[in-house]
Amino acid sequence: MSNYYKYIDLNYTYYDPKTGLLRNLLDITDADTLMFVESGAVTKRLQELYENQIKIKGIENLFEIHRHLFQDIYVWAGKKRIIEISKDGKQFFPTTNFDNAFKYINTLISEFKKIPKGNGMQLAEKLAEILDNVNYLHPFREGNGRTQREFLRLLALEKGLILNLNPPDNKSIYERYMKGTIESDIDTLTELIFELIENKHNV
């Protein structure tokens, strides 16, 4: 699967044209160093969310999660992107229509909250639908995948479900997750999510 992203950032809002790297709070100019430092910082902040969980009320919590995860690295942590992004020629949701997307995702979250805890398949289907829409929204310049996986984990937790869409050293889960999000394949995402929560809770 390709990972070719294109960013329309004519004013260099997010990256330094000299280094080609994202502008960062630590003034790091080496790509490998930035990747290492960012990974370490986000891992630490993820652990904090495991210990002090955020209750998901709506789309605003997605921005809260991103702000928490990336606060040590980027000044724009938790802020919606102001540039357009595409991947392999497919554009993510246009910034001009963000407000409509926020309302729709909030509706999906409300629907999820009304599903009984014991209905595992219906919960998985709604989580997959939410994931698909959040991924298409792609509201941040960087860190969308990590943020949306944590968002789904916290949302599932409200139904007593443990959901890890990024387990270590599990290539199959990663590949199915990527296929589902890249191809907007809700069936694949539903099957994956149901398999993961079912194995842990027998819902």
* Whole-angstrom distance, CA of residue 112 vs CA of residue 159: 9
* pLDDT, average across residues 113-138: 97
Q: Give domain limits for the chain.
A: 5-201
Structure tokens at 119: 């209905």
Residue of 155, 46, 140, 43 whose CA lies nearest to 108: 155
3-state DSSP assignment of residue 87: strand
Q: What is the pTM of this model?
A: 0.94
**Alpha helix (H) residue ranges in 55-143:** 60-70, 98-114, 120-137
**What is the Cα gyration radius of the chain?**
17
Q: Give tens-digit pLDDT for 77-125.
A: 999 999 999 998 889 999 999 999 999 999 999 999 999 999 999 999 9
Cα torsion angle, 175, 180, 185, 188, sign: positive
pLDDT of residue 85: 97
Which residues lie across from 152 on neighbouring strands? none
Contacts of 200 (CB under 8 A, 6+ apart): 161, 162
Distance in angstroms (rounded) separating the CA atoms of residues 36 and 151 = 23
- Given the candidates 3.30.70.100, 2.70.98.60, 3.40.50.20, 1.10.3290.10, the CATH classification of the domain at 5-201 is 1.10.3290.10
Which tens digit of pLDDT belongs to each residue from 32-86?
Answer: 999 999 999 999 999 999 999 999 999 999 999 999 999 999 999 999 999 999 9
